[in-house]
Amino acid sequence: MSRRLRVNPIACEAHGLCAELLPELIRLDDWGYPIIDVAEVPPELVGLAERAVDACPTLALLLEEDTAAPLARPGGSPPLTG
């Protein structure tokens, strides 16, 4: 069962701990906000990912089970509006 990283962008306040703890998967943009380069976490990094989730001061970093459901991802397809 694979795990996916996701940021709640409303909760995120650019503290940057996630990128510091998990540079293999997360980097910061020009304004200090996280970009998840690799959402699906390799098994050997799951432990570190869990630490990063715990470290986020605003609980903005999420580690979710990969349900492969398109409705679960923001910015994914298709939005149910209109």
Which region, judged by CB under 8 A, interacts with other proteins, from 1-9, 17-25, 43-51? Answer: 1-9
Size of the site for other proteins (CB under 8 A): 24
Please enumerate, as own/partner, the contacts of 40-45 that have beta carbons within 8 Å and a separation of 24 or more: 40/2, 40/3, 40/4, 40/66, 41/2, 41/3, 41/4, 41/5
String of contacts with other proteins for each residue 9-48, x by CB under 8 A: xxxxxx--------------xxxxx-x-------------
Helical ranges in 25-74 per DSSP H: 46-55
Q: What are the residues binding other proteins (CB under 8 A)?
A: 7-14, 29-33, 35, 71-72, 74-76, 78-82
